[in-house]
């Protein structure tokens, strides 16, 4: 029988040292393990929690390991990380049990000497749980330790949003994400599908802001549900659900989706067309198009075609092709840290600046694909204004034939309606951080 904490350490080793995606490596390791469902849940909690709070945990460990932190055996260091996480952030696991389990695992997988180090560090921490591990009086160090974010990211949010919204963003990005599903309007009505989910034993609620959304509060894996397999529902965050309806899609239109993976917005557009018209969906990676194709077939959509395309390269045969053109551009992903906490540690300011060049190439090409009076929809899952507001302002200077049209998704406290017309969605329990701009070609 596999040990839950050993599996968690193996996952973290791949994420922290081999830059693996947490969701992928965790899924693979759990599927290949002999753990029962309860232990799989524990592994998932420990992995995501430890990644989420790595900055804070490492600040604590550096206090006890001193100059040896960077030289510490990786297995030992990850055992210390997951144990500090359990002690500091979980209530259900007794402290002595967490420490004993850690010491025994280090003794088994590293050495007796390393287990003595683990025992010393962890018991020292237990005596100093309320200690100050940052420079008091420094707002950036305080926020970084409290919310467990690198200081450069704290400063970015602080400078762009001010202290109040900065803290709101940090708090929101640390929330446990809900699973939300979108009702496929081509296969049934909302009320009927809602009732069928309840009959299948799910505890559910209506969406936070999207009329197509159903929140899964409690229940078994949604992908094993007959309604999912029948294509009646599909998993999608509510922020992403806002995008396709914002285009004001009408039947028989041609919709271009230039950066379509993972395909949620593509299929949503197909549903809004009610299987009329056409959605021309493109992506740079063939394996991602294959996954989108599987979803299209599951959802029973017949109006979507898939093609390889690098959206940074101009494609002449798409000139003025689309009534609606969607560019959900590659971005830094700072709005989806709830789901991918490793983004905290694998991004930097240089990458944020470099991605803007790619985004602007895509915007320039996409402008040429929009019919007169058509709509260009720009969206990202980041909160960096350099990739959002600044790009829209740049685009409008380059293309005076376009203008932003205001969007409104309802009065909720996490959506910012800018006077220019575009929208920023702040992360909370229900939604990822997002940015959406609807831009009309007027001539």
Binding residues for S-adenosyl-L-methionine, as ranges, are 259-265, 283, 310, 328
CA distance 334 to 434: 9
The β-bridge partners of 327 are: 378
What does DSSP say about strands 254-257 and 278-283: parallel, antiparallel, or unpaired? parallel
What does DSSP say about strands 434-441 and 402-405: parallel, antiparallel, or unpaired? antiparallel
Q: Which residues are catalytic?
A: 381
How many residues appear in the chain? Answer: 443
Q: With beta carbons less than 8 A apart as the criterion, state whether 442 and 371 touch.
A: no
Q: What is the widest separation between alpha-carbon atoms in the chain?
A: 75
Q: Which residues are annotated as a binding site?
A: 259-265, 283, 310, 328
CA distance 318 to 327: 14
The β-bridge partners of 359 are: none
């Amino acid at each position: 029988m596999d040990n839950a904490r050993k599996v968690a350490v193996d996952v973290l080793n791949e994420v922290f040292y081999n830059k693996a995606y947490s969701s992928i490596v965790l899924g693979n390791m759990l599927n290949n393990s002999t753990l029962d469902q309860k232990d799989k849940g524990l592994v998932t909690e420990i992995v995501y929690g430890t990644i989420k709070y790595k900055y804070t945990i490492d600040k604590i460990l550096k206090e006890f390991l001193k100059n040896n932190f960077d030289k510490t055996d990786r297995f030992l260091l990850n055992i210390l990380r997951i144990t500090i996480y359990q002690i500091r952030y979980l209530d259900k696991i007794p402290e002595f049990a967490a420490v004993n389990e850690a010491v025994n695992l280090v003794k088994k997988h590293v050495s007796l000497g390393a287990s003595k180090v683990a025992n010393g560090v962890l018991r020292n921490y237990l005596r100093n749980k309320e200690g100050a591990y940052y420079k008091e009086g420094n707002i950036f160090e305080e926020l970084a330790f409290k919310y467990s974010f690198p200081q450069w990211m704290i400063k970015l949010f602080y400078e762009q949003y001010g202290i109040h919204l900065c803290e709101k963003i940090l708090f929101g990005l640390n929330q446990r994400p809900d699973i939300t599903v979108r009702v496929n309007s081509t296969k049934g009505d909302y009320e009927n599908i809602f009732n069928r989910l309840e009959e299948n034993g799910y505890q559910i609620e209506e969406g936070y802001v999207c009329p197509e959304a159903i929140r899964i509060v409690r229940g078994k894996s949604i992908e094993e549900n007959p309604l999912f397999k029948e294509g009646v529902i599909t998993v999608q965050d509510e922020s992403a659900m806002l995008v396709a309806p914002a285009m004001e899609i009408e039947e028989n239109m041609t919709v271009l989706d230039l950066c379509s993976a993972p395909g949620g917005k593509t299929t949503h557009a197909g549903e809004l067309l009610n299987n009329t018209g056409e959605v021309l969906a493109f992506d740079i990676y063939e394996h991602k198009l294959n996954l989108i194709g599987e979803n299209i077939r599951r959802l029973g959509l017949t109006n979507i075609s898939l093609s390889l395309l690098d959206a940074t390269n101009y494609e002449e045969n798409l000139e003025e092709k689309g009534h609606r053109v969607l560019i959900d551009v590659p971005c830094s992903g700072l709005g989806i840290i709830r789901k991918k906490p490793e983004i905290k540690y694998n991004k930097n300011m240089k990458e944020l600046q470099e991605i803007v060049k790619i985004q602007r190439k895509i915007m320039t090409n996409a402008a040429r694909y929009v019919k007169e009076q058509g709509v260009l929809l720009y969206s990202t899952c980041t909160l960096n204004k350099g990739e959002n507001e600044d790009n829209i302002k740049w685009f409008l200077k380059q293309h005076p034939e376009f203008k932003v049209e205001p969007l409104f998704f309802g009065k909720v406290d996490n959506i910012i309606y800018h006077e220019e017309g575009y929208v920023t969605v702040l992360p909370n329990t229900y939604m990822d951080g997002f940015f959406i701009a609807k831009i009309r070609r007027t001539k």
